[in-house]
Structure 1
């Protein structure tokens, strides 16, 4: 299963925005998309499309004029990664079945591995819902390096 570019880039940009807001402190200026695009090496026009969706879903607010840009609509701790991905993408699916059909095979039957992929998709969705934007920005997801055993 692949997370689409839209979902990955939206999470990268939102993490960048959250990090900038944390560094600037409350009440400071909004962050321009051009700055995020440059730091994350993402096309500005692509970011504009993503942020329009994020704004419609209430995840960011925009400020116009000089010093304009975007801010998080709520605290990074209160924004899950699943919300960001769902705001710009279709729901994550690991099966090849469409929402219109009952199965992925030619006659509408489910393939032998359907339940495996469907359950994996549920786990992925649950995991992304459990991770906040603050978790990503703070580095709380990094696993410690395994210690070498001394004989």
Structure 2
């Protein structure tokens, strides 16, 4: 299983909105520049995220986009599934109806079920707030440098 740029870039865009949560709308241009993404492509992703109720748009000269919920309430799974669809290593364990004549006797299906379960677990336990905390910790570590004692 491999995520497309939709999912990866969508998470990066939502991270930018989360880092500025509470500070007002953020322009697409600003997100695109900070993350090194195409503004045109970002427009397409944000439209899908807005339709799913994960972001809100604000019109006007100082308009832009905001998270529709607090960063702690939006999981990475919410974003990935909105942009990518069901996250499953194979069709037979996806969220969609899939008929396989060997479902009752398939020995390997348990592998795919367990893998999907673990993927869902990771995506659903990590929030945008977690990403922001991680980024701030990394920035702090970088700013602090190393301390040596003799």
When normalised by structure 2's length, the TM-score is: 0.78
Which SS does the other structure have where 1:139 is aligned?
Answer: helix
Q: Which runs of 4+ in 1 moved over 6 A?
A: none
Q: How far does residue 39 in structure 1 lie from its aligned partner after superposition?
A: 1.2
1:62 correspondence with 2:57: yes
Task: Extract unaligned runs of 5+ from structure 2.
Answer: 138-150
Aligned-residue Cα RMSD (Å) equals 2.0
Tell me whether 1:14 sits opposite 2:9 in the alignment: no
1:7, distance to aligned residue in structure 2 (A): 1.1
**Structure-2 separation of matches of 1:48 and 1:83:** 18
**Aligned pair 1:109/2:102, yes or no?**
yes
The whole-number CA distance in structure 2 between the counterparts of 1:133 and 1:29 is 17
TM-score normalised by length of structure 1 = 0.78
- Per the alignment, residue 72 of structure 1 pairs with 67
Do 1:95 and 1:114's aligned partners in 2 also have CA atoms closer than 8 Å? no
Alignment match of 1:128 (pick from 118, 123, 127): 123
For residues 19-72 of structure 1, give each alpha carbon's deviation from its aligned partner in whole angstroms, at most 9, with x where no partner exists. 123xxxx3x431001111111111111111111111111111100110110011
Gaps of 5+ in 1: 143-151
* Contact residue 63 and residue 69 of structure 1 kept, 8 A: yes
Higher share of residues assigned helix: 2
